[in-house]
Amino acid sequence: MTLPLMNKTGFEITCVAEEKLGRKINVAKFEDTLNEHLQLSDYGSGIVKLFFVFLGVSISNEFHQGKIKYTATEKHLEIAMHLPYDDLVVADEEKAFELMCDLLVETIEHMDEFPPTEDFDFNRLYVDVLNLLF
């Protein structure tokens, strides 16, 4: 598949989900909210692109597992995390957006336990994302 690359900096959000659940996950709104208010460069030079994949599939689905991968040469951080499946099943779009906010904040909160990114202030990003989304 050859597609033109979009923004090589900032936040990029997408989802991998069961069709009926994916319809509730508004990734464009989430991406726009982050990119309109936050700049990764304000938190250090260690990350220029954060690609976040919301997984809306059961954890037992072996095709799509969570992962965190940092590429130092490109200063690129890729994160894939499961939304809480049972909550997503009964959520409407608004509630699904809250679940997305919760998951991103929770992930960033624990990123300091993840060592490879140099010169990036996850604690400050956590505070700013929290203030922005809640």
Query: CA-CA distance, 107 to 74, in Å (whole number)?
Result: 21
In b/e form, how buried is each residue of 14-44, taking b as 16+ CB within 10 angstroms? ebbbeeebbebbbbeebbebbbeebebeebb
Residue 18 CB, nearest approach to another protein (Å): 5
Q: Measured from the CB atom, is 11 or 126 closer to another protein?
A: 11
Distance in Å, CB of 7 to another protein, minimum: 8
Nearer to another protein, 25 or 126 (CB): 25
Residues of this chain that interact with another protein (CB under 8 A) are 1-8, 12, 14-19, 22-23, 25, 27-28, 51, 53, 57, 61-65, 67, 73, 78, 80
Residue with tokens 């929290």, as numbered in its chain: 130
28 vs 124, which CB is nearer to another protein? 28
CA distance 67 to 129: 21
Measured from the CB atom, is 47 or 126 closer to another protein?
A: 47
